[in-house]
Each structure stands twice: as C-alpha cells, then as structure tokens.
Amino acid sequence: MNDLAPAAVPGPARCDGTGVRAALRRAAPALLAFAAIRLLGIVVLALWSAAGGRSWHTLLTARWDALWYTRVAEQGYGYTVALPNGDVHSNLAFFPLLPWLERGLSALSPLSAADAGMVVSWLASLAAAWALYATGERLHGPRAGVALAALWAALPVGIVQSMAYSESLFTALAAWALYAVLTGRWVAAGVLASLAGLTRPVGAAVVAAVWVTAAVTLWRERAGGSPLRTAARRHPGLLPGVLLAPLGWCGYFLWVAVHQGSLTGYLDIQEGWGNGFDGGIAFASFVRQQLSGPVFAAGAGLLVGIGLVIWLQVRGVRQGQPLPLVVYGGTVLLLALTAKGYFGSKPRLMLPAYPLLLPLAVGLSRWRRAWPWLAIGLLATGSAVYGAFWLNGSGPP
C-alpha cells in the first residue's frame, strides 16, 4: 500500500510575496514550455481550420459544451432540449463555476461570455501547469516538474486545455488543492477542493483525496499514541479543511435536488444525457463490439490505451507516489472508465488525471538533456496535428 512518507506531507512552505515570486521564477521554464506547446496546437488548428474554410475561434469557443456553458452564463439555469428519442438535455448538468467566471469577466470587460470562457481556460491552464511543475519539483526535482507540465500540455487531447471548457479550470483547482495537502495547508486545500467541486462532477475525486489523506494522517497519529485532539493540533487547519472540501460539490448536488424535487435530481439529469455510472458495463460492451466488428484496430487501440493508463496508475503506486495523488488519480480514472455515455469523451474525462503522467515525467527527467525535449517535441507535434484533426472532425462532445 502506498505510504504518505515523511517527505510527502511536510510542514507549510513559505507563501509570502517573496516566496511566490521565487516559486514563479523556478516555474518559468515549465510555463514557457507549456505555453509553447499550446501555442503550437492553436497555430496548427488555425491553419487546418482556414484550409477547410472554418474558424479556429469558433471551434474553441462556440461548439459542443462551450455553447452550454455560455448559455448558463448569459441566461442562467433552466434551459432544456428534448430530443426525438425521448432524451432530455438540461443545462443543469453543467456545474456553475466556469459560467460564473464567464459572466463576471464579460461584465467587467468587452469580452463576450464565450470569449471570457476561453480566456479563463487559457489562464487556468497556465495555473494548472504551474501546480504540476510545483508538484513534480517537490517530489522529484525541477526537471521532473518541467517534464510533467510539458507532458500534460502535449497530451493527444491537449487542445481541450485551450477551449472554453471546464477541464483546465478544474485541473488547476485540483492540482493546487493536492499541492496544498502535500505542503500541509489544509484550509487552502479545503477551499480549493470546494471550488473544484463547483466546477465538474469529478470534483468528488479531490474531496476523496483530501478526506483519505486526512484520515490516514490522523490514524497514524493515533497509532503513535497521540490523542485525537493532540493529533489535530499537530496539523493546523486539518479539520476545517476536511469540512470545507465537500461544500462545493455537495452544495450544487443538493441545489439541483431541491430544484428538481428529488434527492437524485442530478443523477436524473445525467441520465437524460445518457450519462451515469454502470461499473463500466456499457464501455466494456462498446470495446467488445469494436473488437468483433470491422474496426478491430480501433478496439485493439482502446485496449492498449486502457492498459496504459492502468499501468501508469500502478506504476505511480509502486514508485511511492504520495497518497493524495494516488487517490485523486485513481478516482478520476475509475470514474472515467466506469461511466456510460458517449465513449469518445473518455480521453477528455481523463485529462485532469495528471498524476498518471508522473512516472513518465520522472523517467524523462533522468534522460540526457537533449533527449527529453526531442521526445516532448514529437509528442507536442502529434498533439497539435491530432487536436486540429479532432476539432475539425467529430470533436470533443
């Protein structure tokens, strides 16, 4: 079983203005690498879209879920679409933090709500990259931190980080919440976890990471003979952080329940979209159909991909990845693989599971200096081409 390890949950680090500036200077190479990779993706998307007579701006701000977020920002909740097959799509399926930020930014600037969503996503993706660097640096050194941020930017579905979607915002909040746990800032972790819970349903994974880590921390103190009150004093803010963590997720879930007049209101909304959790039965059936049909290669590729992400999770545990990262990454992976619905969404749903990339980042950080950048450059090029192809085709639902 993974162990917290003394180095994994140290005391709070310096967080005054001088400390923040120093941390930002250390993170600068990672942020520059991240920005360069994402800029490459946008440039390739713009060129590809122009060749097909389409607008890269529209693809990033005004299609698929981005339209739903914009409608919430502009008109609030209550909009539904009834489909011919009887399904009902309600905008209550979309958590409120991104639309709130879109509305606020558009009210304070000339930006439309859609453009505000893209700006929030771009800024949040940089904040997420900073958190990933800080995590990698703390656990394995600066080179691992740079590699982790660059690998996240170069994922095949990395273009989503530049869209008016909530993945970037959620990942930033989740990553900083887990970093706060790693550095013993429990109240900050609770606040950030609560905000992540207002961003996406998978905010439950951040709450789980905070709660499980706090429980193990207190259990070890008790096992060492310390009374609970003494153990809590040794970890300032732990209990308030634990209480704060679920407020966002539970608050929205309960608000929808009251709005719908049913305790399972949010689950019913998701069911109307054809989503929900069935233990992976529908996804396994989909993979089986791919393997037994004319697109065997696609089914085989899916199996390889599933095997890879599971291997990365196991590898992280074996490398001694800190408990909050293991719980969070494992929960995001579990929720993504056991959800039913549109299966093309699964790579996007796993985008926030950045701890899965940590073993790869550690491996890259041990290569000779030129080779990691060559590998990341190739991945970034592939990501840019795939992102342009993807958004000009079926795109992320």
Summarize pLDDT for 142-152 with one digit per residue, the tens: 999 999 999 99
* Residue 72 maps to a domain: yes
- Answer yes or no: is 111 within a domain: yes
Question: Is 396 a member of any domain?
Answer: no
Task: Report, in angstroms and rounded to the nearest whole number, the Rg of the chain calculated over CA atoms.
Answer: 21
Distance of CA 314 to the CA centre of its chain: 19
Q: Rounded to the nearest 10 degrees, how much is the dihedral formed by the CA atoms of 170, 171, 173, 178? A: 140
- Token reading at 341: 């619905």
Q: Taking a C-beta distance cutoff of 8 angstroms, is the pair 114, 68 a contact?
A: no
Which pLDDT band, with edges at 50, 70 and 90, does 206 fall under?
very high
9 pLDDT higher than 60: no
Identify whether 280 is part of a domain: yes
pLDDT digits (tens, 9 = 90+) for 228-257: 777 778 888 999 999 999 999 999 999 999
Residue 211 maps to a domain: yes
Backbone φ and ψ of 211, nearest 5°:
-65, -45
Report CA torsion sign: 197, 203, 204, 206. negative
Average pLDDT over residues 34-58: 97
* Measured CA distances, 244 to 34, 37, 193, 197 (Å): 31, 35, 8, 11
How many domains does the chain fold into? Answer: 1
Q: What is the pTM of this model?
A: 0.94
- pLDDT tens digits for range 69-128: 999 999 999 999 999 888 899 999 999 999 999 999 999 999 999 999 999 999 999 999
Inside any domain, residue 1: no
Q: By the 8 A CB rule, do 184 and 241 touch? A: no
Q: Is residue 128 part of a domain?
A: yes
Q: Sort strands 276-277 and 88-90 into parallel, antiparallel or unpaired.
A: unpaired
Structural domain boundaries enclosing 280: 6-391
| 130 in a structural domain | yes
